[in-house]
Structure 1
């Protein structure tokens, strides 16, 4: 604000004299002399800074445009011999030595002040490692890397498969980084693992995509964070025409499902499920099943 105030006043004075009607040689010389106090490039950036400042005040997300100009302008003001010369002229203390001292000492003192002020906060930030801590996911990724073929195909939720792709490089049934109509339909088909479908239906759907392993997440299967009707399993039930779980009335066009929820029932290891799915890994969060190749 200090630099802006000085440069705006200087620009106003220069503009006033440049637009005045005085045509005498003396006035022209004075105008040229004053114009030296604000170079064209400084005036150009001043206009941008003011315009971006107004934009930032009106629209908060546009402040990123103003930030860079504020930094440039602040450094220009503190290190500019023209600015210090102008200020020293106003107090009648102008000489080259004082200009040189202020031009170099003020930026150094400013940096030292900022370092002293920011040092405790910076050290507090560095003391917090903020490392990724999710032992169940780490255990899953290590197991996949160590116990599955490189060409194995995995099915699961989109957010989990993004980690599988990043950490293991395995092939996915529904790639999380791209989207089109076909992929959305494929994702809905894969998500039937959280719907009320028979093991034969789920196995047939997954094998049609070449799936070798399917990963089930308890956080999705038993989700309680969202209200009834907003959970993934509720969306799948409605899409399949099945009544939703939990207290509350369902739409009249929904009917009771013929089969229990797949992600819950498969953990009982009943013969109808064991014939198509073999559990090969589990922890507190994830359950991995290998699909049999028989139809």
Structure 2
């Protein structure tokens, strides 16, 4: 929804409160729904500001989107009762950096010769976002989202720690597997998007070249004349597709952004602006029918395969554990164990637990590391003392966790 609104603002900006209000409402609901949404909003803001710096868009749409995201962020803080993780987020740092750049520094940097001035602006925004985020964290004394930075750091370096491995050892947080690319190619989605991006790129480059030659010939200013016939809405969606692909490659779980965006960009195949041979009705309908037929071959099989998955979840061991906890322990008994088991135990028996899968606070990460030390090579007394400090009455050990390893370097001893 946010991308649809941003696309409309880029295409048809108006000096009316409705546009930034729509952006703020969409960004608000997006932020309160999922904590990682801040990173895609950061990408949106940076892409829009980049379009502004190269004069693809005027200041108005950039300010509408920036102000709308800022208002949505402020409302999110109010709804979350000034949540410290959100207050010290990278999004907060990005908004500070953007307003600092636009209000005070942009005119200064524009004195520098292009394209050097644009490069300096981009570098300043990235560095000032990081600096503002670090200063906010130090000022409020919080480390709630350090694990997010460490996950990204582990993707580019050999860095690893307990919290990072808990994430990266799961397939969802590993790199995007080749199987996903193959499956998307078999449904003809990636080939179709490649054709669309190629057509849009060819059309855009042709128009840019034409305006460059005209500017040189007439001695007129190159920017913003160069972008006169370029649709910023389409450029935005292609830029977001590239960003989502990079995010998905780093963290497989984020393909939930990439796949819908692939479908959105693929829809441009119906545009007669980029595929002029489809101006005739007969050719247009024949081409659409052919594309749908090719995509349906694998697509129908995928749907049938998903619908064929049937069964009932059964875990007798867990059921016996929950019955034992209900009948043999008091409601005040405190439990510790692996995070999935603790989540089931708390929801089914309402017994107090010291660690759970909501891993986004520094305190929960600290407790989980102490509990998981039972799988380590530490001395029993050290492990016992740690659990005693957490006031644990019962420790739930699942035998299969002792020797489990989803991939090399991911056994409990390695963690």
Provide TM-score, normalisation by structure 1: 0.47
- Kindly name which structure, 1 or 2, has the bigger radius of gyration based on alpha carbons: 1
Higher relative CO (Cα under 8 Å, sequence separation at least 6) belongs to 2
> Structure 1 or 2: larger strand share?
1
> Structure 1 or 2: larger helix share?
2
